């Protein structure tokens, strides 16, 4: 490798990898020689990815079945509710999707981005603010108006009512929740009953705020390093599951028979699992079925994402079927005991203050579609008779997508294609009611068992303090909260997630017709949050996600977080020959690190790059607020720069890329959220500055590898500078690996060098 000699001084190699050297030094000079020549590369047509080949297996209903079901629905609607159908169609026509996505284009990609805009016009970024200075709410003004007219199913209310229905004797489910109900395993050992019937004492609740957390370090074969913690008394040693027998899992009918069929179809490829679960699913379900909180930060869209979705859908449906079966069984008891005055009815307390029991938060409509498809499959797989699903045709129309809409020549990384597959509208909410072998889609929230929504969809109905029309009583009795792909909300609007968590399990403002004699005492005591199970699935270890888990998850069963550490880091995926200079900045505390980073950049880093020789410098900024601060500073100092962020219009993106490529602008300010949503290859980069380490570790290697598009023989003059502090330990470990991150944070020297691409 040729040396960038002017900018590197006093180097000493202290370690080496297969193709990388790691160097520490104390001082740096300020200048480096650069060539002014530029390179370009042509994009190749995209090949069909393995992921897209896999997508076909995710649809649980064949096209013929769908047509038959749609015809049945149409006939039923024509015969029974012609007038209501006309009214619903009028409402449907009146609904307008106000969530247009940013469809910024580039010089060589303008035509394909116009096509791409057609597929993404449903608003993947609808939760972003409409102005650059407002990054809080992110919904268009007309979205709240549209929500007032959103469709809910009213005609199936009595059919799915828990108050007026009774358990069908022929179903056999009435025995499942009876003690010694004839099954191989006693119902008293059912984790559902053990969890829901646990009676906490008031002194235990009062002691929670002051109780220190008891922690236990564990290692499981598939999940790896676990941390089990609780503020309540440690109940038992937490052990990994052994061979799983479906009988011991207490799956409610028909899940015991449908789950192996559904999961075996999904896991049909090698290596074939020996049982009804894959090794990962077995360990995850063991934690879920124990009703402990779980944080799993290793979910990947290309890898185990569908595995995880399958298993949490099984857990959610199992919980709902058991809860509803218990209510319907007790309805029969109440009917038989009406003539008996003065009977103790505490055994009949089987409900919360409102009906919704499970809340599943997903980022896009495509994810909601897959969840509902799994629920349908779990109830009808292998059965000769299809289950009744109301409003299925409408649901497929609003949540489905046309795979042919995507331009065939659009080239993006496979993980991008996996995340943004299907309908990527991010403003939605839907209620699902389940009663024995029927599913009601678009159920009113207070008649639903399961709510599926995006953070933005919930935010617009929860509202804010002072708003006239707001409602969050439906969150009061949520017993299982599942937040899937939680890392994506960092790229949308994290405030919506915090707003949701602050409104979970509060006492409702209205009774909503509840029978208080059937409400559990711990729900009446406002202790629901201590019984709520929270399951968080994401793709990375991030301080903000950990904070939500530590602050809002107080389940008395305890919390389990997966803490496996990266050993290599994403820097090993950098293919270009490039020196990576990591500079540590000092900050007194977490609150001061933002100002300390800005001052360090202005005083120490920026002066090195203001020389004309250091042109073509891209500054990667993860935080939008930091971006605004830097942009304002650059304007004030009259520096020669351009910028691209998630709010930049199409024409602005084209101009900025052109000016940067031609060298007419020395600096390009570039936000992480723009890269997340667009993944453009920025050409003309010769110098990189990471103002902060990327949120997603693979973004580091992606941005560094953009230098390949420059080419032209200037490799010897390329530079990369990264700012970090001791508060960036998790992000640093994800980029350079755990061992090297520990060395860099503990070292007395504050400048470290890695060299990639050595031959």
- Coil/strand/helix, residue 615: coil
Q: What is the pLDDT of residues 160-199, one digit of tens each?
A: 777 667 665 444 454 444 443 334 445 568 999 999 999 9
Q: How confident is the model at residue 240 (pLDDT cuts 50, 70, 90)?
A: confident
CA distances from 261 to 64, 257, 479, 622, 723 (A): 20, 7, 28, 44, 51
Query: Which residues, in sequence order, are CB contacts of 651 under 8 Å at separation 6+?
Result: none
Return d(Cα 56, Cα 747) in angstroms, integer: 51
Q: What is the pLDDT of residue 545?
A: 97
Q: Which strands, in side-by-side order, build the sheet including 438-441?
A: 214-220, 224-230, 559-562, 293-296, 533-537, 480-483, 358-361, 450-453, 429-435, 438-441, 388-390
Asked if the 50-60+155-336+356-562 domain carries CATH number 2.40.50.1020, the reply is no
* For residues 146-168, average pLDDT: 68
Return d(Cα 401, Cα 425) in angstroms, integer: 11
Tokens, residue 408 = 């065939």
Strand locations in 565-640 (E): 578-584, 617-621
Higher pLDDT, 353 or 40: 353
Confirm whether pTM is higher than 0.75.
yes
* Residue 144 DSSP code: H
Q: What is the pLDDT of residue 685?
A: 94
Whether 751 and 26 have beta carbons less than 8 Å apart is answered as yes
In the chain, where the domains are located: 12-46+568-756, 50-60+155-336+356-562
Lowest mean pLDDT among 79-88, 440-449, 664-673: 79-88
Return d(Cα 480, Cα 310) in angstroms, integer: 16
How many CB atoms lie under 10 A from the CB of residue 341? Answer: 6
The CATH number for 12-46+568-756, chosen from 3.30.300.30, 3.20.20.100, 1.10.10.10, 3.40.50.300, is 3.40.50.300
Angle between helices 141-148 and 455-462 (to 10 degrees): 80
Angle between helices 543-552 and 494-502 (to 10 degrees): 10
**12-46+568-756 and 50-60+155-336+356-562 share one CATH topology?**
yes
Query: Which residues, in sequence order, are CB contacts of 747 under 8 Å at separation 6+?
Result: 24
Tokens, residue 270 = 């090698």
Residue 245 has pLDDT above 70, yes or no: yes
Whether the CA torsion 268, 274, 277, 281 is positive or negative: it is negative
Q: What is the pLDDT of residue 56?
A: 46
How many CB atoms lie under 10 A from the CB of residue 147? Answer: 16
Query: Across the chain, what does the average pLDDT equal?
Result: 80
Q: What is the radius of gyration, based on Cα positions, of the chain?
A: 28
Return d(Cα 392, Cα 577) in angstroms, integer: 54
Q: What share of the chain is helix, strand, coil (3-state, %, to 5)?
A: 40, 15, 45
Q: What is the pLDDT of residues 299-333, one digit of tens each?
A: 999 989 999 999 999 999 999 999 999 998 888 88
Q: What is the pLDDT of residue 348?
A: 85
> Among 27, 43, 42, 29, which residue's Cα sits nearest to residue 413?
43
Q: What is the pLDDT of residue 407?
A: 67
Whether 6 and 33 have beta carbons less than 8 Å apart is answered as yes
Q: How confident is the model at residue 272 (pLDDT cuts 50, 70, 90)?
A: low
- Coil/strand/helix, residue 261: helix
Residues making up the chain, counted from first to last: 759
3-state SS, 687-714, equals EEEECCCCCCHHHHHHHHHHHHHCCCCC
> Among 442, 543, 459, which residue's Cα sits nearest to residue 501?
459
- Coil/strand/helix, residue 262: helix
Whether 587 and 609 have beta carbons less than 8 Å apart is answered as no
Q: What is the pLDDT of residues 579-622, one digit of tens each?
A: 999 999 999 998 999 999 999 999 999 999 988 778 899 999 99
Whether 516 and 491 have beta carbons less than 8 Å apart is answered as no
- Coil/strand/helix, residue 585: coil
* For residues 501-519, average pLDDT: 93
Q: What is the pLDDT of residue 354?
A: 95
Residue 115 has pLDDT above 80, yes or no: no
Return d(Cα 288, Cα 30) in angstroms, integer: 55
Tokens, residue 548 = 């939500």
Q: What is the DSSP string of 234-258?
A: --S------S--GGGGTPPTTHHHH
Return d(Cα 674, Cα 28) in angstroms, integer: 32
> Percentage of the chain surpassing pLDDT 90?
57
Q: What is the DSSP string of 494-531?
A: HHHHHHHHHTTTPPPSS-TT--GGGB-HHHHTT-GGGT
* Residue 420 DSSP code: T
Residue labelled with tokens 């979970």: 504
Return d(Cα 437, Cα 432) in angstroms, integer: 13
Give the containing element (helix H, strand E) for 440.
Answer: strand 438-441
Q: What is the pLDDT of residues 426-467, one digit of tens each?
A: 999 999 999 877 999 999 999 999 999 999 999 999 999 888
Phi and psi at residue 209, in whole multiples of 5°?
A: -60, -30
> Among 151, 133, 150, 131, which residue's Cα sits nearest to residue 141?
131
How many CB atoms lie under 10 A from the CB of residue 36? Answer: 13
Distance of CA 106 to the CA centre of its chain: 28
Q: What is the pLDDT of residues 715-747, one digit of tens each?
A: 778 999 999 999 999 999 999 999 999 999 999
Whether the CA torsion 488, 314, 448, 377 is positive or negative: it is positive
How many CB atoms lie under 10 A from the CB of residue 224? Answer: 14
Return d(Cα 244, Cα 232) in angstroms, integer: 28
* Residue 603 DSSP code: I
Q: What is the pLDDT of residue 168?
A: 59
Could you tell me the end-to-end alpha-carbon distance of the chain, in angstroms, rounded to an integer? 7
Tokens, residue 111 = 């035509």
């Amino acid at each position: 490798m040729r040396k960038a000699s002017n900018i590197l001084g006093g180097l000493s190699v202290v370690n080496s990898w297969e193709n990388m050297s790691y160097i520490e030094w104390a001082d740096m000079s300020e200048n480096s020689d650069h060539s002014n020549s530029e390179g370009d590369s042509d994009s190749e047509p995209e090949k069909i990815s393995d992921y897209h080949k896999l997508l076909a297996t995710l649809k649980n209903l064949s096209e013929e079945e769908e047509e038959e079901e749609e015809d049945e629905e149409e006939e039923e609607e024509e015969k029974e509710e012609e007038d209501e159908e006309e009214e619903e169609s009028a409402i449907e026509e009146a609904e307008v999707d106000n969530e247009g996505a940013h469809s910024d284009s580039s010089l060589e990609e303008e035509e394909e981005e116009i096509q791409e805009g057609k597929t993404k016009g449903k608003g993947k970024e609808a939760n972003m603010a409409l102005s650059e200075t407002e990054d809080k709410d992110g919904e268009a003004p007309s979205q709240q108006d549209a929500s007032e007219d959103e469709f809910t199913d009213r005609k199936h209310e009595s059919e799915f009512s828990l108050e007026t229905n009774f358990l069908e004797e022929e179903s056999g489910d009435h025995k499942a929740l009876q003690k010694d109900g004839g099954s191989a395993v006693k119902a008293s050992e059912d984790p559902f009953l053990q969890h829901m019937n646990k009676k906490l004492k008031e002194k235990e609740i009062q002691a929670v705020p002051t109780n220190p957390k008891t922690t236990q370090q564990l290692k499981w074969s598939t999940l790896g390093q676990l941390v089990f913690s609780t503020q309540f008394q440690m109940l038992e040693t937490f052990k990994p599951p052994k061979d799983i027998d479906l009988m011991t899992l207490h799956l409610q009918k028909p899940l015991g028979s449908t789950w192996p069929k559904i999961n075996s179809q999904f896991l049909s490829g090698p290596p074939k699992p020996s049982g009804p679960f894959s090794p990962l699913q077995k360990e995850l379900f063991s934690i879920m079925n124990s009703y402990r909180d779980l944080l799993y930060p290793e979910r990947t869209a290309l890898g185990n994402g569908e595995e995880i979705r399958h298993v949490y859908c099984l857990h959610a449906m199992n919980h709902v079927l058991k809860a509803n079966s218990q209510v319907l069984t007790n309805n029969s008891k109440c009917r038989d005991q009406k003539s008996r005055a003065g009977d103790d009815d505490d055994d009949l307390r089987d409900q919360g203050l409102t009906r919704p029991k499970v809340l599943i938060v997903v980022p896009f409509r495509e994810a909601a579609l897959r969840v509902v498809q799994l629920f349908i499959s779990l109830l009808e797989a292998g059965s000769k008779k299809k289950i009744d699903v109301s409003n299925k045709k409408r649901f497929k129309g609003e949540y489905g997508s046309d795979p042919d809409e995507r331009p065939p020549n659009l080239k993006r990384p496979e993980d991008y294609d996996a995340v943004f597959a299907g309908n990527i509208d991010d403003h939605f909410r839907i209620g699902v009611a389940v009663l024995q072998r029927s599913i009601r889609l678009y159920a009113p929230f207070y008649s639903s068992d399961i709510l599926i929504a995006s953070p933005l969809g919930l935010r617009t109905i929860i509202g804010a303090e002072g708003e006239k029309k707001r409602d969050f009583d439906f969150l009061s009795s949520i017993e299982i909260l599942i937040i899937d792909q939680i890392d994506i909300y960092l790229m949308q609007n994290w405030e919506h997630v915090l707003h949701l968590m602050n409104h979970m399990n509060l006492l409702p403002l209205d009774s909503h017709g509840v029978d208080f004699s059937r409400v559990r005492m711990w729900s009446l005591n406002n202790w629901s949050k201590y019984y709520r199970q929270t399951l968080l699935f994401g793709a990375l270890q991030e301080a903000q996600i950990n904070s939500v888990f530590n602050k809002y998850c107080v389940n008395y069963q305890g919390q389990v977080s997966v803490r496996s550490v990266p050993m290599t880091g994403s820097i090993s995926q950098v293919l270009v020959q490039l020196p990576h200079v990591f500079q540590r900045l000092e900050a007194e505390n977490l609150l001061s690190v933002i100002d300390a980073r800005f001052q360090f950049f202005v005083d120490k880093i920026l002066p090195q790059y203001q020389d004309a020789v250091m042109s073509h410098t891209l500054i990667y900024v993860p935080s939008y607020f930091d971006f605004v601060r830097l942009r304002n500073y650059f304007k004030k100092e009259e520096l020669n720069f351009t910028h691209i962020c998630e709010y930049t219009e199409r024409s602005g993106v084209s101009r900025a890329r052109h000016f940067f490529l031609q060298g007419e602008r020395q600096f390009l300010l570039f936000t992480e959220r723009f890269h997340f949503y667009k993944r453009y290859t920025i050409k003309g980069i010769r110098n990189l500055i990471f103002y902060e380490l990327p949120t997603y570790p693979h973004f580091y290697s992606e941005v560094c590898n953009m230098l390949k598009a420059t080419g032209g023989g200037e490799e010897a003059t390329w530079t990369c500078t990264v700012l970090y502090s001791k508060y960036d330990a998790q992000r640093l470990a994800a980029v350079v690996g755990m061992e090297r991150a520990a060395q860099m944070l503990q070292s007395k020297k504050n400048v470290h060098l890695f060299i990639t691409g050595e031959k």
